[in-house]
Amino acid sequence: MTAQLSSMEAARSAVAVLVRGGVRDVVVAPGSRSAPLAYALAEAEARGEVRLHVRIDERVAGFTALGLSLGSLRPVPVVTTSGTAVGELLPAVMEANHAAVQLVVISADRPGELRGTGANQTTEQPGLFGSHVRYAADIPAGEDPAGTLAGGLLAARGLAAPDHQGAAGPVHINLAFRDPLFPAADDDGGTAAVPAVTAAAGSREMAVPAPVPGPGPEPSAAAGGSGRTVVVAGHGAGAYAEAFARSQALPLLAEPSSNARFGPNAVGPYRLLLDPLGAGIERVVVFGRPTLSRPVAALLARPDVQTALYLPGPVAWFRRGKRRERIITGPAELALFAGQGPAGWLQGWQRADRAADAALQAVLAGTPELTGFEAAAAVWAHTRGRLVLGSSNTIRDVDLAGRPQPDPQCTVYANRGLAGIDGTTATATGIALGTGGRTRALVGDLTFLHDAGGLLLGAGEAEPALQLVVLNDAGGGIFSLLEHGEVGTRPRYAAAVERLFGTPHQAGIAQLAAAYGLGYRLVEDRAQLEPVLKEEFTGRGIVEIRTDRSGLRRLHARVREAIWSAAGGQP
Ligand SMILES: Cc1ncc(C[n+]2csc(CCOP(=O)(O)OP(=O)(O)O)c2C)c(N)n1
Ligand SMILES: C=C(O[C@H]1C=C[C@H](C(=O)CCC(=O)O)[C@@H](C(=O)O)[C@@H]1O)C(=O)O
Ligand SMILES: [Mg+2]
């Protein structure tokens, strides 16, 4: 067993090979899984060894790298996070293949053991580009990529298999990284681990625990044990999850795109309540695919918690044997496993929910500027028909601040298959056209800019009734809520974190609306929010809501502490 490298050690080894191999330009698209490479590349740029180019849209990043290679006649890497980000490179890779250009794809990946488990943003990346690359390699987490990457650079120069007649061309190096994905506090190239910082949603767990393959512990003989069960409704769960929770008198922890976030059992800010209340949970029943938050992932990975996944039909998002939950296909067995919530169990969660909401409202009332939480909660409350939620903070702000409705007010859609920020405008347009009904989308600014091309319709085609609500914090706010927010407080990395993760911009959303012929409204304060969201809309329009991500860490910390203190103790 070769010595295991930390993610930063592996990334630094990779960057050293790139520099020795003649690389002078690297294109980086923002992401968390690719963060070790971003930090190592920032270090190399600070040493004057490379020049970095940051591009939000990976398709743009791929063609930018293609152009840099054509111009410099050097191999040019393009670095992306995991998921659809890698797929966005295919057009540039195909062009590089047929034009014999030295494009070096370095795709970050989740560790191999997560493949096939349904873990967030995890797919099968090795071999993605097929015969379009001269060389492809999949490097497991912890392994030194140096030798493989050096071979990849040679292959890019044309020293590849004879079936390409020695022509230069693209290569694909898939590099898996395991948490932690950032340099240790005292790290000048060392490997000292540092205590994790509190992640985005205030969970005290740091990394998302890997789902443990195989069935979990045998359910106790007694039906449902103590009944101290919760129902988790993930993406695509459907309304039955709500009916089941209600029939069993169990708390319902429903993600926004579960289409089960309604009814008397639904708990609003469950992701933060899991910390003070989670210890009492003995069983979890899972509907759909939870992908949104680390506290839920941590709950499902707890060895003392028995979990069941309700699967009445086939699903594509995990491979058999790769998840720990017991698979249950029938409602009767599911009810037997879940048990009936004991007196006071649901009521305790409902009390905590009310206390948490009051605490959240108090924090927001004391915050002078309009926050993403308020905007998301207002969109959630005032949308009927169809709602499309963008990945990143928008769907998470609804998850925390969106009050469960008495009844389903709208059908919720989200590209949670791989949580990509690509193609969301085009997806929402397709939903509006496909359903023929009024549709609202709530997306972040990078998500919107990533798919600006989605604003262009075919000449003479019908205008769908689509309102794009863009939460514009002038960059990727979510990164400040992950571990990278803490790294960004260190003088050595502050500028790099803002450039490589915050990816600030001054893109004019009003000007984009005008360029594509859409209506445009700017919401600058709370007073404007509800009237604009309550207005009927026809055709396509953009509502821009500007928020400030510079104070996001502090706001989330205040919300977390307020909810934890309001809901402390066990139900
Ligand atoms: C195609 C793709 N590229 C990159 C990522 C990594 N990623 C996740 S969230 C995010 C930033 C999103 O910014 P924005 O849409 O402005 O939302 P905010 O975080 O500001 O709420 C990025 C780059 C991804 N999920 N999908
Ligand atoms: C930016 C990327 O995606 C990351 C976004 C959020 C995930 C997360 O854990 C948010 C914290 C929470 O909601 O509890 C993070 C993760 O799954 O660990 C994703 O990596 C990216 O490029 O991967
Ligand atoms: Mg943003």
User: Where exactly are the structural domains of the chain?
Assistant: 7-176, 229-349, 370-547
Place 188 in a pLDDT band, splitting at 50, 70 and 90.
low
Place 295 in a pLDDT band, splitting at 50, 70 and 90.
very high
**What pLDDT does 163 receive?**
67
Shortest-distance Cα residue to atom 24 of ligand 1: 420
SS (H, E, C) 473-534: CCCCCHHHHCHHHHHCCCHHHHHHHHHHHHCCCCCCHHHHHHHCCCEEEEECCHHHHHHHHH
**Percentage of residues in the chain with pLDDT exceeding 70?**
92
Mean pLDDT, residues 186-207: 43
Give burial (CB, 10 Å; 0-12/13-18/19+) of 158: middle
Q: What distance in Å separates the CA atoms of residue 272 and residue 564, rounded to the nearest whole number?
A: 7
Q: Are 438 and 465 in contact (CB under 8 A)?
A: yes
Three-state secondary-structure class, residue 278: helix
Q: Are 394 and 471 in contact (CB under 8 A)?
A: yes
**What pLDDT does 74 receive?**
95
**Percentage of residues in the chain with pLDDT exceeding 90?**
88
The ligand minimizing its distance to the Cα of 81 is 2
DSSP string, 59-113: HHHHHHHHHHHHHH-S-EEEEE-STHHHHTTHHHHHHHHHHT--EEEEEEE--GG
**What pLDDT does 160 receive?**
65
**What pLDDT does 532 receive?**
96
Task: Assign domain 7-176 one CATH number from 3.20.20.150, 3.40.1260.10, 3.30.70.1380, 3.40.50.970.
Answer: 3.40.50.970
Question: Which range has the worst mean pLDDT, 19-23, 158-162, 500-504?
Answer: 158-162
| pLDDT tens-digit readout, 532-562 | 999 999 999 999 999 999 999 999 999 999 9
Strand partners for 467: 440, 541
Q: 53 C-alpha to center of ligand 2: Å? A: 23
| pLDDT tens-digit readout, 436-448 | 999 999 999 999 9
* pLDDT surpasses 50 at 219: no
Q: How far is CA 425 from the centre of its chain?
A: 17
**Index of the ligand 2 atom closest to the CA of residue 201:** 14
DSSP string, 208-252: -PPPPSS--SPPPSSTTTT--EEEEE-BT--THHHHHHHHHT--E
Q: 525 C-alpha to center of ligand 3: Å? A: 18
Q: 4 C-alpha to center of ligand 2: Å? A: 24
> Class of 229-349 per CATH?
alpha beta
533: amino acid identity, one letter: L
Q: 114 C-alpha to center of ligand 2: Å? A: 14
Mean pLDDT, residues 459-463: 91
Q: 446 C-alpha to center of ligand 1: Å? A: 6
Mean pLDDT, residues 230-244: 98
The ligand minimizing its distance to the Cα of 444 is 1
* pLDDT surpasses 50 at 216: no
- Ligand 1 pocket (Cβ < 6 Å) reads 29-31, 58, 81, 83-85, 88, 390-394, 419-422, 444-447, 473, 476-478
Shortest-distance Cα residue to atom 13 of ligand 1: 476
Mean pLDDT score across all residues of the chain? 92
**Index of the ligand 2 atom closest to the CA of residue 396:** 13
**Index of the ligand 2 atom closest to the CA of residue 208:** 18
Q: What distance in Å separates the CA atoms of residue 341 and residue 345, rounded to the nearest whole number?
A: 6
**What pLDDT does 189 receive?**
55
* pLDDT surpasses 80 at 194: no
User: What CATH homologous superfamily does 370-547 map to?
Assistant: Thiamin diphosphate (ThDP)-binding fold, Pyr/PP domains (3.40.50.970)
Mean pLDDT, residues 95-104: 95
* pLDDT surpasses 80 at 410: yes
**What pLDDT does 231 receive?**
98
For residue 179, give every residue at least 6 positions away whose Cβ sits within 8 Å of its Cβ, in sequence order, or none: 7, 206, 207, 208
**What pLDDT does 193 receive?**
38
**What pLDDT does 2 receive?**
72
DSSP code at position 565? H
- ipTM for the predicted complex comes to 0.98
* pLDDT surpasses 60 at 394: yes
Q: What distance in Å separates the CA atoms of residue 184 and residue 508, rounded to the nearest whole number?
A: 37
Strand order in the sheet with 229-233: 252-254, 229-233, 283-287, 306-310, 326-328
| pLDDT tens-digit readout, 87-96 | 999 999 999 9
**What pLDDT does 161 receive?**
60
Mutate to test the pocket of ligand 1, among 32, 392, 445 (most ligand atoms within 8 A of CB): 392
* pLDDT surpasses 60 at 212: no
- Asked if domains 7-176 and 229-349 share a fold, the reply is yes
**What pLDDT does 516 receive?**
97
**What pLDDT does 202 receive?**
38
**Index of the ligand 1 atom closest to the CA of residue 31:** 6
Q: What distance in Å separates the CA atoms of residue 562 and residue 571, rounded to the nearest whole number?
A: 18
Is the peptide bond prior to 180 cis by the omega test (within 30 degrees of 0)? yes
Measured in degrees and rounded to the nearest 5, phi and psi for residue 136 equal: -140, 140
Mean pLDDT, residues 99-104: 95
Q: Tokens for 458?
A: 């075919």
* pLDDT surpasses 90 at 47: yes
The ligand minimizing its distance to the Cα of 478 is 1
**What pLDDT does 186 receive?**
77
Place 203 in a pLDDT band, splitting at 50, 70 and 90.
very low
* pLDDT surpasses 70 at 198: no
Mean pLDDT, residues 334-357: 97
CA distances from 553 to 77, 165, 250, 298, 563 (A): 32, 54, 32, 21, 15
Shortest-distance Cα residue to atom 9 of ligand 1: 392
**What pLDDT does 195 receive?**
34
Torsion of Cα atoms, 276 then 292 then 525 then 504, to 10°: 120
Prediction pTM value: 0.93
Mutate to test the pocket of ligand 1, among 391, 418, 450 (most ligand atoms within 8 A of CB): 391
Shortest-distance Cα residue to atom 4 of ligand 2: 32
- Ligand 2 pocket (Cβ < 6 Å) reads 31-33, 81, 120-121, 199-201, 203, 208, 292-294, 396, 478
Mutate to test the pocket of ligand 2, among 120, 293, 299, 484 (most ligand atoms within 8 A of CB): 120
For residue 72, give every residue at least 6 positions away whose Cβ sits within 8 Å of its Cβ, in sequence order, or none: 24, 25
